[in-house]
Amino acid sequence: MKRPQLTQTAPCRIDPDVYAALISDLAYSAVPTAIMGITLVGIASLAWLRIGNPVFALAALTGAAGTGGKLFLMSYQREALRNETHCASTARFYQQRHLVVTLATATSIAAMVSLLFFHIDAEWHVLGTALLFAYCAGVVARLAVCPALAVAALIVAAVPVIVACCFWSDVPHRVTAAMFAVFLAGSFETVRHVYRNAVRHIATELDMATLARNDPLTGLLNRLGFREAFRVTSGTPGGLAIHCFDLDGFKPINDCHGHAAGDQVLVDVARRIRASAPGAAAARLGGDEFAILQGGVACTEDAISLADQLLATLRKPYDIGDTSVYVGASLGFAVAYDDGMDFDALVRAADLASYQVKRAGGGVSQGHVDHMDRLAGGDLRIVT
């Protein structure tokens, strides 16, 4: 099954679902963010008290604001993820805000460490080096899932420090500046490597989740996915109808035209189901057996209307190369209005209706059951 195509909503050139999953991961780094923020504010406050430059106080305030803003954003994002997964446009919204608070912290780091390197005492240089490396390591480890964010933070934090080192004319500082530059370039490669691995890992997880719930040939739900769709839809207002049918005359297509032609017909059937019931969950239960879950059913006539529409669409010719073939359908449905809807009972009733229709010759008959207590009693009525 193919993954969804790229859209303009995802700034990274990857599948939108993968992009959204990567940005969702930014919500789960509260502990390292808090540790880095406390360290930054602590060192900036110490430097302000010892050296007296008010820029250190400003760096402490900026770092505290950036850290606090990032922690609040992550908390808000986690709460949103509890209700629903991010789509690509929502992920882009959060990425832009992560960029703002991250650059605030990176700017604070750059200003403070640069000032430390301008101080004449070498012990402040050591402290600045440790802080810069700790921050950059954290960026690579936690933000590489979004390279644009990670690279921006690395550049903003490290480049001013490299420039500050170059103001010293002695060899150790020039070597230090060169080391910073080489490590900065190396961090870009590490970000790229971590990002590509994360993309492959998440794409594989999403593909496996899709395959676990979808039919690989038609893209419709399988039994597991259909059951989950029922669980979600049963919580919405109105009754539910399940339509079950298999194709009449499908086996001769496989026998005369080959299994590839049969697969083509199944794919076309799935396409017609989606077109006829765009708001319904559809499943291929196996072979040429299909099922549709219709929600918001106010009365039995709603289910009959959809069943008639499905049958009319399925009866149209299917093109196989230069040949047109026809299939029919034996369709039965079951309707439930009670709160205690039972998936297995409803499917059994719809399947039984379909079977009785097939025994009667297939075609346009539908069966329905009005209530779940009647389902349990087996009271099934065929409507012709």
Closest CA to 370 of 349, 348, 344: 349
Amino acid at 71: L
- Residue 235: band (very low, low, confident or very high) from pLDDT cuts 50, 70, 90: confident
Q: State in Å, rounded, how far the first CA of the chain is from the last one.
A: 38
Q: Over range 295-302, report the average pLDDT.
A: 86
Q: State residue 382's pLDDT score.
A: 36
CB 293 within 8 Å of CB 229: yes
d(CA 64, CA 57): 11
Q: Provide the β-strand partners of residue 330.
A: 246, 363
Q: State residue 74's pLDDT score.
A: 96
d(CA 246, CA 241): 17
Q: In three state form, how does the secondary structure of the chain look?
A: CCCCCCCCCCCCCCCHHHHHHHHHHHHHCHHHHHHHHHHHHHHHHHHHHHHCCHHHHHHHHHHHHHHHHHHHHHHHHHHHHHHCCCCHHHHHHHHHHHHHHHHHHHHHHHHHHHHHHHCCCHHHHHHHHHHHHHHHHHHHHHHCCCHHHHHHHHHHHHHHHHHHHHCCCCHHHHHHHHHHHHHHHHHHHHHHHHHHHHHHHHHHHHHHHHHHHECCCCCCECHHHHHHHHHHHCCCCCEEEEEEEEEECCHHHHHHHCHHHHHHHHHHHHHHHHHHCCCCEEEEEECCEEEEEEEEECCHHHHHHHHHHHHHHHCCCEEECCEEECCEEEEEEEEECCCCCCHHHHHHHHHHHHHHHHHCCCECCEEECCCHHHHHHCCCEEEC
d(CA 39, CA 137): 14
Give residue for tokens 């909503």.
Answer: 9
Token pair, residue 370, equals: 């009005």
Phi, psi (deg, nearest 5) at residue 289 = -100, 130
Half-sphere exposure of residue 240: CA atoms within 13 angstroms, side-chain side:
26
Q: Provide the β-strand partners of residue 318.
A: 325
CB 358 within 8 Å of CB 330: yes
CATH topology of domain 223-383: Alpha-Beta Plaits (3.30.70)
- Residue 339: band (very low, low, confident or very high) from pLDDT cuts 50, 70, 90: low
Q: Using one digit for the tens of pLDDT, what is the confidence trace for 275-293?
A: 988 888 999 998 899 999 9
Token pair, residue 319, equals: 């093109």
Q: Using one digit for the tens of pLDDT, what is the confidence trace for 48-77?
A: 999 989 999 999 999 999 999 999 999 999
CB 300 within 8 Å of CB 334: no
Amino acid at 114: S
Q: Using one digit for the tens of pLDDT, what is the confidence trace for 165-205?
A: 998 888 988 999 999 999 999 999 999 999 999 999 998 88
Q: State residue 46's pLDDT score.
A: 93
Q: Using one digit for the tens of pLDDT, what is the confidence trace for 124-179?
A: 999 999 999 999 999 999 999 999 999 999 999 999 999 999 988 889 889 999 99
Token pair, residue 171, equals: 């060899």
